[in-house]
Chain A
Amino acid sequence: MAKLRGRGYASVNYPTGMNLGGDPSQALVHATTTGTFVISLSSVDLGQGIKTIAAQCAAETLGLPMENILVDTADTDTGPHCMGTFASRGTHRVGNAVIMAAAEARGVMLEVAAEELEVDAADLETDGTGYIAVKGAQDKRVHITDLALAAHFKHGRTISGRGIYLKEPSVPVPETGEMDPDSCQAHACTVAVVEVDDETGVVEVLELFNAYEIGRALNPAMATQQVEGGAWMGLSHALFETTEPYYPARDHGPRDFAGYLMPGPADLPVQHSLLLERPSANGPYGAKGIGEMTANAPIPAIANAIFDACGVRLTSMPFTPERVLRGLDALKTEETC
């Protein structure tokens, strides 16, 4: 009777976005009278952080502080079009649309500033503090709050911009099957370290090492959070979660949290996560999508680690104590035959 340690590895390539009949998302940007730039989107934030990413892309493109950005995702009926936040597409599609909209708005902002300061728009620059200033003459400047007021009440201008990113439909070539289904691919691998109790069959994941190549990490802390939260979900699928333990008979399926098991805060592995940045040519500031892939690699990595630890090759999830023990029994029978 022993606790057996093993280590397993798995990797994943993951496409950003989808294809189908074309994959567009739009963004609209306008400045209020006091210089808040409202980014209107129909892209819903359900915790993955698209509002933060959209605000970062807008602030960076406009050359203004984050405090000047307000992301409004209030109404998918009346907002600009978005296919939705799924398929790991949000950062890529919406980020690109926001950059396009913000670039147009920045052009108008600089034109109005040029009128206000009586200079050429090409001579103006921003430094992220909220001021638009003449290059090389930093005292000749106007703050966005004053500029937006002047745009409305003096110049009769609307500081605004429109953006869309469209991944065009790609139909496979009949002869070869060749097509261009996604915009870019992110890559990752996970190494899992597990301990298998050969008496009880319980598998404990001790450590996970995650390496993710995700283009530019627009927000490294949020990307890491996505990687580790996703790995937790992968671990949960690998060891615990199932709706149908006696599939296809559904009568014993769990109906609540008492029967549908998930790891709790005491069952967590130590995670080590690394982001590798190789900016994608068509990504917003080089970013790729990483949403869904984060739950993928941990599962086969854990399966491989179990095999390494005790020789049991499990091909059905979850890797329950019962399945591990049956696998160990089968190995013993093989040995004795």
Chain B
Amino acid sequence: MPSQIVSLVVNGEHREFIAAPGATLLACLRESLGLTAAKRGCAQGACGSCTVLVDGRPEASCLVAVETVAGGSVRTLEGVATGGDLDEVQSAFVDCFATQCGFCTSGMIMVAEALLDRNPDPSEEDVIEAISGNVCRCTGYRPIVQAVLEAAARRREEAVTR
């Protein structure tokens, strides 16, 4: 099977690249598009560090053959901040000390974005459920759970003032 030209909408921009047969979405993002926020932790769907949003759903991009999402829309951590301004989830991660080495952070933030998109007022259990596919080796998870709850609160507050 020859390589193919694949097009995707990545962080709102139309992108085209050549993908080898069976290439994963993760490999294409990192190697063809230079978007290295999504990390390759296990390459088998067990750690969540490669999580991106595909048509709004969090997906382990290491398990997605890129042809299967051709034409779709992908959101990565690079598309979360507007210009240099961190969004509520990112700034809550900073303020709650929810990151140490940072290897899990982009995946954690993407699952948090997906959670808050569909549930603006999650309970602690909802947050734990949402991040339960993501491994963190450093923080002990508690600061991450707190950061997501804090981000949700900030986002709700902003919705009221807007």
Contacts and interface: CB of A to CB of B under 8 A. Distances in A.
The answer on A and B forming one complex is yes
A221 interface: yes
Nearest to B99: A47
A222 B140 contact: no
Interface in B90-145: 97, 99-102, 127-129, 131-132, 135, 137-145
B118 to A, nearest CB: 19
Contact of A229 (B44, B102, B139): B139
B42 A256 contact: yes
A46 B141 contact: no
A47 B140 contact: no
B18 interface: no
A265 B46 contact: no
Contact of A265 (B47, B102, B137, B141): B141
Contacts of B132: 264-266
A314 interface: no
Contacts of A256: 42, 44, 46
Given A225-B139, A229-B139, A258-B46, A265 B100 contact: no
Contacts of A222: 97
A153 interface: no
A36 to B, nearest CB: 18
A145 interface: no
Interface residues of B, number: 24
A50 to B, nearest CB: 12
Contacts, number: 58
A47 B138 contact: yes
A257 interface: yes
A225 B97 contact: yes
Contacts of B141: 232, 264-265, 268
A47 B102 contact: yes
Contact of A47 (B46, B101, B135): B101
- Chain B contact surface mostly: loop
B145 A257 contact: no
Contacts of B46: 256-258
A257 B131 contact: no
Interface in A223-270: 225, 228-229, 231-233, 256-258, 262, 264-266, 268
Given A46-B101, A229-B100, A262 B138 contact: no
A239 to B, nearest CB: 14
Nearest to A235: B140
Given A48-B100, A256-B42, A229 B138 contact: yes
Nearest to A263: B141
A13 B74 CA distance: 50
B21 to A, nearest CB: 25
Given A47-B99, A256-B42, 15 more contacts: A47-B138, A228-B142, A229-B100, A233-B137, A256-B44, A257-B47, A257-B135, A258-B44, A262-B135, A264-B141, A265-B127, A265-B131, A265-B132, A265-B141, A268-B141
Interface of B: 42, 44, 46-47, 97, 99-102, 127-129, 131-132, 135, 137-145
19 contacts: A47-B138, A49-B100, A221-B97, A225-B100, A228-B139, A228-B142, A229-B100, A231-B140, A233-B137, A233-B140, A257-B46, A257-B135, A258-B46, A264-B135, A265-B132, A265-B141, A265-B144, A268-B141, A271-B140
